[in-house]
Structure 1
Amino acid sequence: MMAILGCGDGNTACTEARLVPVQYQSMAQCRAALANEIARNTDVPYPTIGANCRASGAQYARAETAPTSLRR
């Protein structure tokens, strides 16, 4: 998934302006499409726009060790 970001001057205070309704098969495909999607979304009302690829769906974190409260 790709998010179009609207930023203040100097790429500061960026916020998500919209999500691109395309599901990419990989992060590499998403990154390859960044420039084209930014060019298609120039109507975002911010001085600077950018884009960010993100994983969609549920994300799970894997701990390398058990939390200290569970150790014996």
Structure 2
Amino acid sequence: MGPVSYVIAILGCADGGAACQQVAVAPARYESAASCEAATGNVLADSTDFDFPTLVAKCRTAKSPAAVQRSAPPRSAAVKQG
């Protein structure tokens, strides 16, 4: 098993954080979960092109499945409402 890298997935969610779906993946890769988590706030602040009441930024391993359907925002994710 080789080194693990992380990416930030941007999820768009319906009101109340329900029915989230992946709308983008930030292009940067991170070498640790900690460095990825530290970057979620900035990536989320720059994610203004999506028409959802709530956006969530969540770190995933680069090999994680791409699609997320009907999941609530995880506690460790950055959340932007507006």
TM-score strictly above 0.5: yes
* Structure 1, gaps ≥5 residues long: 59-72
Alpha-carbon distance, 1:24 to partner:
0.5
TM-score (norm 2): 0.67
3-state SS of 2:63 partner: coil
Instruction: Measure the CA separation in 2 of the matches of 1:55 and 1:28.
Output: 12
The list of structure 1 runs, each at least 4 consecutive aligned residues, that deviate by more than 4 angstroms after superposition, is: none
Q: CA deviation at 1:19?
A: 0.5
Structure whose alpha-carbon radius of gyration is higher? 1
User: Which residue matches 2:40?
Assistant: 34
| Matched residue count | 58
Give yes or no for the alignment of 1:5 onto 2:18.
no
Q: Higher helix share goes to which structure? A: 1
d(CA) in 2 for partners of 1:40, 1:47 = 15
Unaligned runs of 5+ in 2: 1-6, 65-82
Q: CA RMSD in A?
A: 1.2
Q: What is the aligned-residue identity percentage?
A: 43
Q: TM-score, normalised by structure 1?
A: 0.75
- Deviation string 1:50-69 (CA, Å, 9 cap, x unpaired) is 111000138xxxxxxxxxxx
